Amino acid sequence: MTQKKTALITGVTGQDGAYLSEFLLEKGYEVHGIKRRTSLFNTDRIDHLYQDPHVDNRDFILHYGDLTDSTSLVRIVQKVQPDEIYNLAAQSHVAVSFEEPEYTANADGIGALRLLEAVRILGLEKKSRFYQASTSELYGLVQEIPQKETTPFYPRSPYAVAKLYAYWITVNYREAYGMYACNGLLFNHESPVRGETFVTRKITRAVARLALGLQDCLYLGNLSALRDWGHARDYVEMQWMMLQQEQPEDFVIATGRQYSVRQFVERSAAELGITIVFEGEGEREIGIVSKVEGNRAKCKVGDVVVRVDPRYFRPTEVETLLGDPTKAREKLGWTPRTSFEELVKEMIECDYTAARRDSLVKMAGFQAYDYHE
Ligand code: NDP
Ligand code: GDR
């Protein structure tokens, strides 16, 4: 009987952590995840994978730890003796990194070093393969379009600068200690469980709520930013594939197609039969309902449903990202399965279902218990 492979995932409670856990469990792995202590439950995305700790032979096991706490990492790596480590944990919000630059550097930059050092201290350099969640944000200010593995980096946020350190320390441990360590340069990837403050999920949630009369207006920042958006489910497969090669290498993962934030809004609204037209410019730009079809939306023609709020502008912005996934296709046979339209549809359908539930609860006269009274 061949022994199960063991994977350790940091950031297991995040979007990618949840999809990757599902994927690896289906492949027959024993999956260990690191979650951090929070005052509220933070395991919503993986609750369906939970296994009762009183049961023997579990293959999904969570450990408390934190990327800012070396000793917890050493303890967990020693206990798990992983064949594969996926370092997905991060303060992953670019705008927030301007507010918390030091913490972001600590968790996203030095955190990767702590994990690599844990592997080295424990003498697991030849056993544990290491995946680092690198990002298209490294390209930042445009040097070349589309961006590929050889495109020079120009990070534009504390988040991206921290991730630049993590990228290079991963390369350095590969070269210095012969570790199987590699970077996935992943472009934006989304899903119905994307964090609610990233622009795509903010849009799909808001459009669903606007359609049902639960919200009046959606406030956004830079509507012209261009992104290459894929589906997280497709991208975690590639994270695994990168650790199954003979030699460790870095890969760009992207769709090769690009849309603006404005187009994401238009597409989301169209899924519910709402046509939005944009007028004005810069901070005065607004999105107005020009047509409503079908019976899924209660909006009226003429409603102003999108406004620009400069509070969402970033001190330095990444205006355009477009990835070239040729290397991933040619060397690993990977291509994204989900189109932009399918991604938006899936996200809208989930958020519309959730909004309908809220709407029905509201119509039934339910009021939440107010513990301040
Ligand atoms: P999420 O923000 O959804 O998840 C981040 C995870 O990291 C969460 O589990 C979070 O825990 C955990 N975490 C945050 N800080 C710490 C810490 N100090 N110690 C331990 N865990 C911590 O991100 P995604 O799943 O979208 O992204 C996964 C990784 O890929 C991240 O590193 C991100 O920067 C990177 N990336 C993401 C892209 C994308 O488009 N999604 C593109 C390119 C790279 P909690 O749940 O408690 O908050
Ligand atoms: P990004 O994702 O910064 O690319 O980082 P985000 O969805 O936050 O922003 C994408 C673009 O939309 C513009 N934008 C807004 N963004 C947010 N969050 N909220 C708004 O209201 C808004 N209005 C316009 C932004 O300015 C930006 O140009 C994501 C994260 O997952 C990172 O961890 C990851 O590394 C990169 O993708 C690749």
Instruction: Give, for ligand 1, the residue of 88, 110, 199 to mutate: max count of ligand atoms closer than 8 Å to Cβ.
Output: 88
3-state per-residue secondary structure call for 161-177: HHHHHHHHHHHHHHHHH
Instruction: Note the pLDDT of residue 17.
Output: 98
Q: Is residue 328 part of a domain?
A: no
Question: Do residues 146 and 25 share a domain?
Answer: yes
Q: Any idea which residues carry the catalytic annotation?
A: 135, 137, 159
Which of 95 and 57 is assigned the larger pLDDT? Answer: 95
Question: Do residues 71 and 138 share a domain?
Answer: yes
Q: Read off the CATH number of the domain in which 310 is found.
A: 3.90.25.10
Question: Do residues 164 and 206 share a domain?
Answer: no
Say yes or no: CB of residue 38 within 6 Å of ligand 1.
Answer: yes
Question: Do residues 68 and 175 share a domain?
Answer: yes
Question: Do residues 166 and 204 share a domain?
Answer: no
Q: Which of 154, 186, 218 is the C-terminal boundary of a domain?
A: 186
**For 226-230, what is the mean pLDDT?**
98
Amino acid at 100: E
- For residue 107, the SS3 value is helix
Q: Is residue 248 part of a domain?
A: no
pLDDT surpasses 90 at 1: no
Q: For the segment 10-44, what is each residue's pLDDT rounded down to a tens digit?
A: 999 999 999 999 999 999 999 999 999 999 999 99
Q: How far apart are CA 141 and CA 23, in angstroms?
A: 34
- The pLDDT mean for the chain works out to 96
Question: Do residues 164 and 57 share a domain?
Answer: yes
Q: Read off the CATH number of the domain in which 94 is found.
A: 3.40.50.720
Compute, in angstroms, the gap from residue 91 CA to the centroid of ligand 1.
6
Question: Do residues 146 and 207 share a domain?
Answer: no
DSSP 136-152: GGGT-S-SSSSB-TTSP
Q: For the segment 107-150, what is each residue's pLDDT rounded down to a tens digit?
A: 999 999 999 999 999 999 999 999 999 999 999 999 999 999 99
pLDDT surpasses 90 at 65: yes
Compute, in angstroms, the gap from residue 373 CA to the centroid of ligand 1.
36
Q: What ipTM was assigned to the predicted interfaces of this complex?
A: 0.99
Per the listing, tokens 């200690």 go with 177
**Phi and psi at residue 251, to the nearest 5°:** -135, 140
Confidence of residue 373 (pLDDT cuts 50, 70, 90): low
Nearest atom of ligand 2 to the alpha carbon of 319:
28
Beta bridge partners of 92: none
Q: For the segment 94-118, what is each residue's pLDDT rounded down to a tens digit?
A: 999 999 999 999 999 999 999 999 9
Q: Is residue 373 part of a domain?
A: no
Confidence of residue 238 (pLDDT cuts 50, 70, 90): very high
Give every CB contact of residue 94 below 8 A, 6+ residues apart in sequence. 137, 157, 159, 160, 314, 318
Instruction: Note the pLDDT of residue 366.
Output: 80
Question: Do residues 134 and 271 share a domain?
Answer: no
Question: Do residues 163 and 90 share a domain?
Answer: yes
Confidence of residue 362 (pLDDT cuts 50, 70, 90): confident
pLDDT surpasses 70 at 195: yes
**Phi and psi at residue 173, to the nearest 5°:** -70, -30
- For residue 182, the SS3 value is strand
Question: Do residues 97 and 21 share a domain?
Answer: yes
Say yes or no: CB of residue 39 within 6 Å of ligand 1.
Answer: no
Q: Which of 159, 186, 213 is the C-terminal boundary of a domain?
A: 186
| Number of compact structural domains in the chain | 2
Nearest atom of ligand 2 to the alpha carbon of 197:
18
Q: How far apart are CA 128 and CA 84, in angstroms?
A: 5
Q: Is residue 331 part of a domain?
A: no
Q: Is residue 71 part of a domain?
A: yes
- For residue 229, the SS3 value is coil
Confidence of residue 363 (pLDDT cuts 50, 70, 90): confident
Q: Is residue 252 part of a domain?
A: no
Q: For the segment 257-291, what is each residue's pLDDT rounded down to a tens digit?
A: 999 999 999 999 999 999 999 999 999 999 999 99
Question: Do residues 107 and 148 share a domain?
Answer: yes
Instruction: Note the pLDDT of residue 371.
Output: 66
Beta bridge partners of 86: 9, 131
Q: Is residue 301 part of a domain?
A: yes
Q: Is residue 324 part of a domain?
A: no
Question: Do residues 182 and 64 share a domain?
Answer: yes
Beta bridge partners of 185: 134, 252
Residue percentage of the chain with pLDDT more than 90: 94
pLDDT surpasses 80 at 367: no
Residue percentage of the chain with pLDDT more than 70: 98
Nearest atom of ligand 1 to the alpha carbon of 159:
34
The region that residue 184 occupies, defined by phi over 0 for left and psi between -120 and 50 for alpha, beta otherwise, is beta
Domain encompassing residue 205: 199-226+260-314+338-362
Q: For the segment 337-354, what is each residue's pLDDT rounded down to a tens digit?
A: 999 999 999 999 999 999
Instruction: Give, for ligand 2, the residue of 132, 134, 199 to mutate: max count of ligand atoms closer than 8 Å to Cβ.
Output: 199
